[in-house]
Amino acid sequence: MHHHGRVLAVVVHSFGKGKSIWVAAPMESKDEAVNIRLTQHLLQRVFPAPYRFELDAHPAVEMTLFDQPHSHRLLMNLLNMQSAMPPIPVGATVRVQTPTGRTPGKLLRIPDLKPLAWQKKGAYVEFKVEPFEVFHMAILEYA
């Protein structure tokens, strides 16, 4: 799609309370550091912090976060998507926000319910994840 002789490469679209970013090039799927920084910059401009969660980890690690209000807890899943078999264990640093007005409580590793240490970091609860091969799950209780 051309507009005044220029090619539109990035489109930001608002709908309701949400926003989406459409990017013509598959920037986030390339490993080059410049693409990673550009993607980060773009997201931070359109969606200013603080975020529901932040993850510092190997690029192959994906994280999902579920709020389970009936159980008064957040459920976090980290998945190591490395193609190498067996995957090389990788650690991570996770920062997660409790829902507005909620106080963070115990952080427990699943499935053994081992308590994990966390600290307050601005708007976030921050904790370190020990190196894991494929899957790491934790729950953060809140009151």
Beta carbons of 20 and 13 less than 8 angstroms apart: yes
DSSP H or E segment with residue 38: helix 33-46
pLDDT tier for residue 109 given thresholds of 50, 70 and 90: very high
Mention every residue, 6+ apart, whose C-beta is less than 8 A from residue 106.
Answer: 115, 140, 141
Tell whether the model's pLDDT for residue 113 goes beyond 90.
yes
Beta carbons of 110 and 71 less than 8 angstroms apart: no
Beta carbons of 41 and 48 less than 8 angstroms apart: no
Tell whether the model's pLDDT for residue 3 goes beyond 60.
no
Domains of the chain are 1-48 (no CATH), 50-143 (2.60.40.1180)
Tell whether the model's pLDDT for residue 6 goes beyond 70.
no
pTM (predicted TM-score) = 0.75
Tell whether the model's pLDDT for residue 26 goes beyond 70.
no
